[in-house]
Structure 1
Amino acid sequence: MSDPTTDRTTDPTTDRTTDQATDKATDPAPVTVLGLGLMGQALAGAFLREGHPTTVWNRTAAKADPLVADGAKLAGSVAEAVAAGRLVIVCVTDHHAVDALLDPMSGHLDGRVLVNLSSGTSGQARETAAWAARHGGTYLQGAILAAPDGIGTADATLLYSGPRAAFEAHEPTLRVLGGGTGHLGDDPGLSSLHEVAVLALMWGILNGFLHGAAVLGAAGVDASALAPIARQGIGTVTEWLSGYARQIDEGVFPAFDSSLDTHVAAMVHLLQESESLGVSTEFPAYVKAVADRAVAAGRGAEGYMTLIEQFRAPSVVRAPSVEGGEGASE
Structure 2
Amino acid sequence: MDNKAPVTVIGLGLMGQALAGAFLKAGHPTIVWNRTAAKADQLVAEGARLASAVGDALQASSLTIVCVTDYQAMRELLGASDIDLNGTMLLNLTSGNSAQAREAARWTEQRGARYLDGAIMAIPPAIGTAEAVILHSGPQSDFEAHKSTLDALGTVTYLGADHGLASLYDGAGLTMMWSVLNAWLHGTAMLRTAGVDAVTYAPFARQIAAGVAEWLPGYAEQIDSGSFPAEVSALEGDARTMAHLIEESEALGVNAELPKLIKAMADRSIAAGHGAEQYPVLIEEFGKP
Bin the TM-score by the shorter chain. Answer: over 0.9
Partner of residue 113, structure 2 = 137
1:84 is matched with: 60
Distance, in Å, in 1 between the alignment partners of 2:191 and 2:135 is: 37
Report 1:247-326 matches (<5 A).
247-314=222-289
Change (3 A) 1:207 1:96: farther
The DSSP-based 3-state class of the residue aligned with 2:273 is: coil
Equivalent in the alignment of 1:317: none
- Residue of structure 1 aligned with 2:136, choices 160, 164, 168: 160
Once residues 252 and 166 of structure 2 are traced to their aligned partners in structure 1, the CA distance between those partners, rounded to angstroms, is 42
Deviation at 1:129, TM superposition (A): 0.7
Q: Secondary structure at the match of 1:197?
A: helix
Note the alpha carbon deviations across 1:68-121, whole angstroms, 9 max, x for none.
221111223322322221211011232233223322277321111110111211
Of 143, 147, 153 in structure 1, the residue corresponding to residue 123 of structure 2 is: 147
The two structures, once aligned, show a CA RMSD in angstroms of 1.7
Structure 2 counterparts to residues 5-154 of structure 1, below 5 A: 26=2, 28-104=4-80, 107-154=83-130
2:159 counterpart residue number: 184
The runs of 5 or more residues in structure 2 that have no matched partner are none
SS of structure 1 residue aligned to 2:132: strand
- After superposition, give the CA deviation of every residue in 1:268-310 in whole Å (9 maximum; x if it has no partner): 1221122122222211111111111011111111110010010
Q: TM-score, normalised by structure 1?
A: 0.83
* 1:211 paired residue number: 186
Deviations 1:7-48 (A, max 9, x none): xxxxxxxxxxxxxxxxxx636111111122222121111100
What secondary structure is seen at the aligned counterpart in 1 of 2:214? helix
Structure 1 stretch displaced more, 87-96 or 243-252: 87-96
CA–CA distance in 2 between the matches of 1:268 and 1:287?
Answer: 10
Q: Given the alignment of the two structures, is residue 222 of structure 1 paired with residue 197 of structure 2, yes or no?
A: yes
Q: 1:194 to 1:285 in 2, by over 3 A?
A: same
Distance 1:193 1:154 in 2: 22
Provide the identity percentage.
57
Over 3 Å counting, the alpha-carbon distance change for 1:219 and 1:108 in structure 2 is farther
Structure 1 residues 111-139: Cα deviation after superposition (integer angstroms, max 9, x where no partner): 11110111211111111111111111011
- Residues 234 and 277, structure 2, Cα contact 8 Å, conserved in 1: yes
User: Is the CA contact 1:34–1:88 (under 8 Å) kept in the aligned structure 2?
Assistant: yes
Which secondary structure state, in structure 1, belongs to the residue aligned with residue 68 of structure 2? coil
Measured against aligned partners, the alpha-carbon deviations of 1:185-237 in whole angstroms (never above 9, x if no partner) come to 22211211111111111111111112222222344322112211111111111
- 1:311 deviates by 0.6
8 A contact 1:219–1:277 mirrored in 2: no
Q: Which shifted more, 281-290 or 147-156? A: 147-156
Equivalent residue number for residue 175 of structure 1: 151
- Contact 1:106-1:135 at 8 Å conserved across structures: no
Aligned equivalents of 1:253, 1:105: Cα separation in 2: 56
Residues 54, 83 of structure 2: 8 Å contact kept = no
Q: Distance in 2 between matches of 1:146 and 1:155?
A: 7
The DSSP-based 3-state class of the residue aligned with 1:141 is: strand
SS of equivalent residue, structure 1 residue 140 = strand
Partners of 1:286 and 1:59 in 2: how far apart? 45
Between the aligned partners of 2:73 and 2:198, the Cα distance in structure 1 is 38
- Give, in whole Å, the separation in 1 of the partners of 2:288 and 2:85: 41
Q: If the length of structure 2 is used for normalisation, what is the TM-score?
A: 0.94
Structure 1: 5+ residue stretches without partners: 1-24, 315-330
Give, in angstroms, the shift of residue 263 of structure 1.
1.3
Are the aligned partners of 2:3 and 2:149 in contact in 1 as well (CA < 8 Å)? no
